[in-house]
Every structure is written in structure tokens, then in C-alpha cells.
Chains A and B, each alone.
Chain A
Amino acid sequence: MNLLLAKLCLWIVIVGPLSILLFPKLGQAQDAVIDALKKQMAEMQATMKKMAERIEQLEKERSADADSAKAQQPQTAAAAAPASTGKGISNAFNPAISVNGLFSGGYSSSPQTTRQLTNPDFHNGFNLQEAEFQFTADVDPYWKANFILAVDRAGNAEIEEGYVTSEQLPYDLLPRDTSLKLGKFFASFGKHNLLHAHQFPFIDRPLINQAAFGDEGLKEPGAGLSYLLPTPWFSELTFQGLAGENESLFRTSEDSKPRGAYLGHWKNFFDLSDSTTLEFGNSYIGGRNSDAGHRLSQAIGLDMTMKWRPLQQATEKGLVWQNEYIYFSRDRDRDPSSRGGGFYTSLQYQFARNWWIQGRYDLLGVPKLDDGRKNRWTTLLALVPSEFSALRLQHSYTNQTNGKSVNEVLLQMNFTIGSHPAHQY
């Protein structure tokens, strides 16, 4: 019963503010929004009142139950549970819900430079970086749905990802070893692009991801097929047809028409031993941009990741060495085309049960971008009390050919509540 109540409260807490946040985007006039809010508040009050009454009633029933059968405690608890769903309300089919919170504080020797480099919203001091609400459930025997809503510190809500996946369709429409993905999702380009902000190994994105795909990452509405090759090692081919909405690579503004893009990704994975693994990936995306002449925008990516984690000390020791190179170009008819490349190499070492120490080196400008070359050195120390929370302290030093050198110190609290999420490798 308490679990059900907790879920109801969570729904009210989530759906209430979210609908408030979404209304200004959907609605036209300010008045309509206020009216809707008032109505909603009234509805919420009514619901709360009903819930309070229900709780009171249930508590009465329960204490009566407890008096009559004190010896059979587990049975009493089990009997009380169906009572709360007695009116035909079942939460068995509700999606699994989890919420990630990112709260951070930062100091930069030049906030202006930090805004240009990694985080357009940066200011010295504390702020709620982002909250992410994740909903997952099976739609039916064929589809599994996943929604991730992100709310930024300005209160803007956005469907960061919303998609369905399938491994099986009626009439065997989907061949064996193939999976289908439809919706809006992070495009399968390289390694870092697939991560949500709370999964980032460092507090900010690598410079090259920022330069190539912007501060939202490469996420696109589209459809994708991915196929497991019949090789003796893990090898997966992915093709995605995407809208081509990314403003860094394809569009000039939100109003310009997306012209479609295609993506290919090939991932290979090897076990070097029980504790060591090696992964190689190649990625390509290409499509027409919305600049004059509608010429081609393209990006290629190479990634290599090596991981080590001794099985017998799986919670205490670990090492991740990750490298990624991206080259991108945006051809234009009149203005000069923009192109460039860069890479990062990062090392994450878990030296004790609750501690990680990490370093990353970023080089933007191989080959050179329009605004020259940037070097960035980042170190990070993380205290990880459990798999649901982490406190991270990061320092970065950046020097660049065109622009100021900058020192940044960031502190971040990263936490997850709700359903236990499985961990991507």
C-alpha cells in the first residue's frame, strides 16, 4: 500500500510541474495557461483530499486488521496490499520510473570563455544543472518504450529521448539478430554521444563532441536497424535514417527545414581475458545542410576503449581507457566551409570501493578549425558512496590559440532515485 502511495505522490510531483512547464510551449495565450493551471491546481487539491481520506480509511482498516491477527504479520501485510487496489487501480503496468538529479557548483577564471567552450549556461556559483526523468515499460510483446524528459535549470522541459525498440514483430517482419528503434534518440555515433548528462564520465563533454554536435549532442528523430553479425566476436552494424536537425552540423536555425541524414556505426568487442576487454568503433553520418546550396555535412568517428575490472574485486578496482577521434565538415556555397577534427583520451581508475580518480586530455584542431587549436587538461576525483550517488570534483585547464587560457573548478552531486537502472557496459 505504501509503495502505491509513493508512486501516486511521485506521479503528482512529476506530472504537475512537467505539465506546468510544457503548457507555455503548447498554449498560445498567457491567460489560457493561467486558467489551465488554476484548474489543474483545483484538480490536484481534490485528488490530494481524496487521497488523504483514503489514507485515513486504510489506516483504520489496517489497525483493525492488526488487532484481529497480530500473530500473522506477513499475511496481514499481504492482505492489506490488495485492499488498496480494490477499486481496480493496478500499478503493475506502470512504467519503471527513475529520476536523476545533477546539482553543481563551479568557478571559472573566465566565465565568458567557459560559456564558449563547454557550457553556454555557465556562471560562477551553484546551480541545479539538470534533472532527468526516465520512464521505461514494455508496450506489448513486441515493443519496449523509453522516455527521458530533461528539465534544465531555467525550467525548460524537453523530451530528450523518446523511442520504442523491438526485437520481434508480427509475421516475422523483423529478421533474426536484428533490432529496430523508432523515435527520437541519441544517434549511434561513437561512444560519448550516446550518454546522458548524468552518465558523462567527466562533468562536461569532450571538446570535440561539443564542437561537432553542439551542447545538446547529436540527437535526432529517426529510425534505426541494428544487426548482430555472425562472427566469433561481438560485432554489430547499425544504420539509422535521421531527420538531420542538429544545428551544429546541419541546420542554421530552428526554423530551417531539416533535409535528412544517414548514419552507419560498426562496433566490435573482444574479451582479452575475463577481466580485460577491448572495443573498436567506426561511425559515419552525412546529410544535406540548410546553408545556401544545400551542400553536404559529414562526420566520421573512430573510438577505442579498453576496460579492466578483476572479477573477484568487481566493486573495488577498475580501469577504463577511452579514446575517440571525430572529424567533421560542413560545406557551403558562398560562406567558407567549416571543418575540423579533434580527439580526447581519458583514463578512469577506481582505486578503492568508493573512490575514482580520472584524467582526460582534449585536443581540438587536428586538422585545425576556423578558430585555431585548443588544448584542455582535466582531472577529476569522485567519491561514490553507492551506485546511486556520486560527488565529483573536477579541475580543467584550457589554452587556446585564439582566446584566453582558463582554469575551471567544478563540483557536482549526481544522484538517482527510483527504479534500479541496468548499467550499460
Chain B
Amino acid sequence: MKFFPSLGLGLLLWASAALAAEPVSIVTTTADIAAIVKAIGGDRVAVESIAKGYQDPHFVEAKPSFVRVVNRARMLFNVGLELEVGWLPLLIQGARNPSMTVVDLSSGIAVLEKPSGPVSRAQGDVHPLGNPHYWLDPRNGVIMARRVTQELKTVAAADAATFDQNLKSFEMDTTARRKRWEEQMAPFRGAELVSYHKEWEYLVNWLGLNVVGYVEDKPGIPATPRHLEELVQTMQQKKVKALLASNYTNPNVPKSVAEKTGAKLVILASSVGGEESVRTYGDLFESIVGKLTGALK
């Protein structure tokens, strides 16, 4: 049934193309980047994200309808570090849009967990370029926003002043709120917790938390019973209070681990749009910090 609204939207887009001051169309791989682009571009950009916020960005499907979206975009922003390697290359190739600029936002980020030795698929879904979940540190959000501003100016030079203004307020707002989040989390510095997948490394690195184990045996590979037994022991010994999982994780296994150990299962939105109330990049950390302080108390 959603076909008809999208048809209507298509006609609307087509009609709006006829107007002189049409906004620049931007496509992003994730909803977090879309939120940042929106904050900087305002109404000068029309931005669409391919992955939804409640979806695992590793496992997006390269649907032909996304090919159409990429076909119409002037610029594409992606996370990089091979997060989108399973689907983005096909969308870009299928889009037949060589004039589009592709911007990899990972350049300029201090990447964590870059493997220093050899990597093998026996280690599970390892990312040979490092951990790609870097948007989960608000300091990286500011770096991303600066890069977005710089790139938007190349496709909408006339609006450069607006973008600079928006960047300034984004930076001020994010920094001010970051200090408040840091204060809220200060009592829990060094707290030990367990996470489902290796996706909260940037968050815990920023907040000074300490991940002592993972539910997954290896990244992307479900746990064996033996691994879970060891994990439960570790958690009981260390009196771990919280187990973090993303809202696209199947909660069954983490739930049983939490029940056995008395830890609280904390289901977090790992992207903008992961929960209905999380609409902006700042909302994401409000939600995460709120839940963490509640669980670690």
C-alpha cells in the first residue's frame, strides 16, 4: 500500500525539480549521517538515508529501489571502514550516476581496533580497517559535521554561510551537551559491563567504561554454550551490572545471560531512528546516557 504514497512523492519530487531553488539531494548510508547532514544543510538539502535507524547497518540489502535513490543524488555520505561493503558497491554501480560525489566520513576519525596483526575470517566478522561504529562518540560527530559542511559547500556554494552558521550551532550544542553527559556518567567511570557485539567501543572509550566480555563468541558469530558459561562466570565474579545490546539484536540470548547473572539488560538505540524518540544526533546520546545511568546506579 506504500507504493501509492511513494508514487505521489515521486511526482512531488519531479514537480519540485521544476522550481528554481530546489534543495540539493543528498543520500547517506546511515540515519546518523542523515541527521548530521540535516543539521548542517537545513532546508537547503533533501536528505535520505538508506539504512533505517533500527536496522543493522552491516546487513542492509541492495534493493533496486535504493539504486533509484542513489541515481538521483548529488552526493553520497558513507561511514566507510568496510561497514557497507556488502551492499553499497552494488548500489553505486547500479545507480549510473558518475557525477555524484562519494564522501567517506571515516577519514579524519581516530579509528579504534585497527588490527595490527594478520586477520582471518576464523576471527568472525573482523573489520580489517578497524571498528566502524565511530559515530557513537559525540566528539566524532563534530568531526563528521565539519567534513559534511566542507563537502556540502562544494555542491551548494551559494549557501556556504548558512552551512557555516549551522555547523557553529551544531558544534556548540553538541559540545555543551557532551559536557553534561560526561558529568552525568562521571560517577560510573571504570564501571565494568558486558556487550553483545563489538559496537560500543567508541562509546565506552569516550565515557571511560570498561567492557569485560562479549556475548558473541567472535564478532558476528553466535555464542557457543561453553563461551556463555565462561561469560556468566566472569560476570558473576566481577559483579557486572549491565549488559548492552543494540535494539536490532535478538534479545533471547542476552536476556538469559542477564537473568543468570543479575545484570540489567540495557537495550540501546545505536543509531538515530533506533527508537521513535531519537530524532537527532543529540537525542541519540540523551537516550543512551539516560539508560546507562539508570542501569549502573
A residues contacting B by CB (< 8 A) are: 2-3, 6, 73-74, 77-78, 144, 165, 167-168, 176-179, 228, 231-234, 236, 267, 269-274, 277, 279, 309, 311-316, 353-354, 386-388, 417, 420, 422-425
Contact = CB atoms under 8 A, between A and B. Distances in A.
A91 to B, nearest CB: 14
Contact of B85 (A3, A316, A388, A422): A422
SS class, residues of chain A in contact with chain B: mixed
A272 B5 CA distance: 11
Given A274-B52, A312-B247, A73 B85 contact: no
Contacts of B63: 269, 271, 277, 425
A311 B7 contact: no
A94 to B, nearest CB: 15
B292 interface: no
Contact of A167 (B54, B55, B89, B97): B97
A312 B220 CA distance: 15
Given A228-B67, A272-B3, A314 B59 contact: yes
A313 B248 contact: yes
Given A232-B14, A270-B65, A425-B64, 9 more contacts: A3-B118, A233-B65, A234-B64, A270-B3, A271-B2, A315-B56, A354-B222, A420-B82, A424-B62
Nearest to B2: A273
A312 B55 contact: yes
B59 A77 contact: no
B247 A232 contact: no
Contacts of A273: 1-2
B205 to A, nearest CB: 16
21 contacts: A73-B116, A176-B96, A179-B93, A232-B9, A236-B64, A267-B64, A269-B64, A271-B3, A271-B6, A272-B2, A273-B2, A309-B61, A312-B54, A312-B247, A313-B250, A353-B222, A386-B121, A422-B88, A422-B89, A423-B62, A423-B86
Contact of B96 (A6, A78, A177, A425): A177
A244 B54 CA distance: 48
B87 interface: yes
A250 to B, nearest CB: 29
B239 interface: no
Give me the 7 closest cross-chain CB pairs, A-B, nearest first. A232-B10, A168-B98, A234-B64, A269-B64, A2-B118, A311-B55, A77-B116
SS class, residues of chain B in contact with chain A: loop
A268 B222 CA distance: 37
B9 A234 contact: no
B85 A272 contact: no
A312 B245 CA distance: 13
Contact of B65 (A3, A177, A277): A277
A233 B121 CA distance: 38
Interface in B1-52: 1-3, 6-7, 9-11, 14, 52
B50 to A, nearest CB: 11
A179 B118 CA distance: 38
Interface in B51-85: 52, 54-56, 59-65, 67-68, 71, 82, 85
Contacts of B97: 167, 176-177
A200 B231 CA distance: 39
A354 B52 CA distance: 24
Contacts of B248: 311-314
Contacts of B250: 313, 316, 353
B294 interface: no
B118 A167 contact: no
B63 to A, nearest CB: 5
B227 interface: no
B291 interface: no
A179 B7 contact: no
A388 B121 contact: yes
A71 B100 CA distance: 44
Contact of A74 (B11, B55, B65, B114): B114
B90 interface: yes
A232 B11 contact: yes
A270 B68 CA distance: 11
B278 to A, nearest CB: 15
Given A272-B1, A314-B55, A386-B220, A420 B68 contact: no
B221 interface: yes
Given A2-B118, A73-B116, A314-B248, A271 B52 contact: no
B117 interface: yes
Contacts of B89: 422
Nearest to A309: B61
A344 to B, nearest CB: 22
Contacts of A178: 96
Contacts of B247: 312
A77 B96 contact: no
A228 B71 contact: yes
A76 to B, nearest CB: 8
A139 B54 CA distance: 37
B110 to A, nearest CB: 12
Nearest to B118: A2
Contacts of A272: 1-3
Nearest to A353: B222
Contact of A144 (B2, B7, B61, B93): B93
A267 B9 CA distance: 21
A167 B114 contact: no
Contacts of A228: 67-68, 71, 95-96
Contacts of B67: 228, 234
A267 B63 CA distance: 13
Contacts of A78: 116
A386 to B, nearest CB: 7
A314 B246 CA distance: 13
